[in-house]
Amino acid sequence: MSLATPDGHLKKGCLVEEREASILIKGGQRKNQLRCDTDSIAGCVSQRACVYCGARVVLNPVTDAVHLVHGPIGCSSYTWDVRGSLSSESELYRNSFSTDLKENDIIFGGERKLARAIDELAERYNPPVVFVYATCVVGVIGDDLEAVCKKAASRHEIPVIPVQSSGFIGNKSAGYRAACDTLLRLIEPRSADCSSGKKHETKSVNYLGDFNLAGEAWIITEYLRQIGVEVNTVFTGDSKCGNIKKAAGASLNIVQCAGSMGYLARRMDEIYGIPFLRVSFLGVEDTSASLRSIAAFFKDLRMKRLAEELIQRESAAVKPQIDSYREKLRHKKAAIYVGGGFKAISLIKQFRELGIEVVMVGTQTGQEEDYRTLHDITDNGTVILDDANPSELERFMTEKGAHLLVGGVKERPLAYKLGVAFIDHNHDRKHPLSGYAGAVNFAREVQDTVCSPVWKYARGTGGGIYAGI
């Protein structure tokens, strides 16, 4: 059954009524009035992760930290080694320590158990920082993390910082903010040199919202080095406690994943006067535009020239490969469901580079501004939706005839059950999708999966791929 009327409006009764305000069809009567950035509707299964998970994915790439989860063991195992973030040194972050709260702790409180766990970890690993995550259970039993961490910090003379990510305080975005607040507590005030204005003489940036999946932060750091920009701190890919402490010394914050790090950028602007630029290093077009905007910020003619040279060189190197993939992808249709708005915007441009039509686009945590842009750049008839549930994703993909879904790990089974190709654009992947090399990887992956012969056996069976094989 079609979900849309012939003139492009959503049909009444096809969806849970309260969800209608979070979905629109481009070109329909409602002009870019999409409800977003709100809590999920009770009873609708959201694809969003929990508050704790939101905080954990942001902080986890801090490689030399102890990440201690105060909660039942399940919270910790669910997020164990949660990102494909690479480290150039410490591997401590790949552990998922837990206080393993049980019934007794829930009745009598878990504070003493938490203090003992911090002591044991501090003595065994000698870390420069301990992050202590609150989970749903902590929100219910009311353990005072702040007090326990403060005493532990003075016992061990290291920062022991509570991450206020207990459940019921909001959605995944609240977890992002909790992580950013934690990072802010670690950043040290600027040195006298920086405060006196000398920081503006340096060309250094903090790179926010890159988690060094498959080494992506290293690729971008190398581009920036080539145009004369030093990366001071990456938040948080391959970062260490020491790098984060000196983040206030940068002249500019560039923000890749604004959904998770926009808040940190705004707070650093307020506290330290560090301006920020939104960038995206996904796809040739956005990578080139981002390098140009960074060079423009510094008003440095040499940097502008170096950026243009790099853009010409790298674009020319990848163009033949991308063109060859485009030939094979003509008339294909893609659906996008990702975490943040900026990634969705970049993906639409990348699909255009490949000649693919985007028929559905949605995010878990997109902001009003992101959805305005998505509305502007999509074609008439595109379904735009916020905080979707699996049933909506399946129905829109089917109706729109999508050949491919780009999403995260939770969306993969949805696509495969429908016999639709899938690309993981989230934590777990092992190959970089950023920068020029990443654009080729992305195009190759799209081609490999969309053009795989498996789909002709899987489709039309009525039961998706599992029934078809």
Task: List binders of ligand SF4 among 47-76 (CB under 6 A).
Answer: 50, 52-53, 71, 75
Minimum CB separation from ligand SF4 for residue 167, in Å? 4
The answer to whether the CB of 274 falls within 8 A of the CB of 268 is yes
Given the complex with ligand SF4, which of 52 and 93 has the nearer CB atom?
52
Give dist(CA 357, CA 261) in Å, integer: 29
Given the complex with ligand SF4, which of 51 and 361 has the nearer CB atom?
51
Calculate the CA 467 to chain-centre distance: 33
Task: List binders of ligand SF4 among 440-469 (CB under 6 A).
Answer: none
Task: List binders of ligand SF4 among 131-150 (CB under 6 A).
Answer: 135-136
Minimum CB separation from ligand SF4 for residue 22, in Å? 22
Q: Which residues, in sequence order, are bridge partners of residue 214?
A: none
Minimum CB separation from ligand SF4 for residue 179, in Å? 14
Token pair in block for residue 54: 């939101």
Given the complex with ligand SF4, which of 173 and 378 has the nearer CB atom?
173
Contacts with ligand SF4: how many residues (CB under 6 A)? 9
Task: List binders of ligand SF4 among 14-53 (CB under 6 A).
Answer: 50, 52-53
How far does the chain reach from its first CA to its final CA, in angstroms? 27
Give dist(CA 163, CA 69) in Å, integer: 9
Minimum CB separation from ligand SF4 for residue 151, in Å? 24
Given the complex with ligand SF4, which of 52 and 396 has the nearer CB atom?
52
Given the complex with ligand SF4, which of 139 and 407 has the nearer CB atom?
139
Minimum CB separation from ligand SF4 for residue 408, in Å? 16
Given the complex with ligand SF4, which of 100 and 368 has the nearer CB atom?
100
Given the complex with ligand SF4, which of 48 and 375 has the nearer CB atom?
48
Per CB under 6 A, the list member of 167, 237, 259, 339 interacting with ligand SF4 is 167
Minimum CB separation from ligand SF4 for residue 121, in Å? 20
Minimum CB separation from ligand SF4 for residue 213, in Å? 21
Minimum CB separation from ligand SF4 for residue 76, in Å? 8
Given the complex with ligand SF4, which of 139 and 283 has the nearer CB atom?
139
x-marked contacts with ligand SF4 along 95-134 as a string, rule CB under 6 A = ----------------------------------------
**How many CB atoms within 10 Å of residue 441?**
18
Given the complex with ligand SF4, which of 84 and 167 has the nearer CB atom?
167
Task: List binders of ligand SF4 among 241-270 (CB under 6 A).
Answer: none
Minimum CB separation from ligand SF4 for residue 118, in Å? 19
Per CB under 6 A, the list member of 20, 27, 78, 150 interacting with ligand SF4 is 78
The answer to whether the CB of 454 falls within 8 A of the CB of 420 is no
Does 236 sit behind a cis peptide bond, omega within 30 degrees of 0 on the bond before it? yes
**Pairing between strand 383-386 and 23-25?**
antiparallel
Residues that bind ligand SF4 (CB under 6 A): 50, 52-53, 71, 75, 78, 135-136, 167
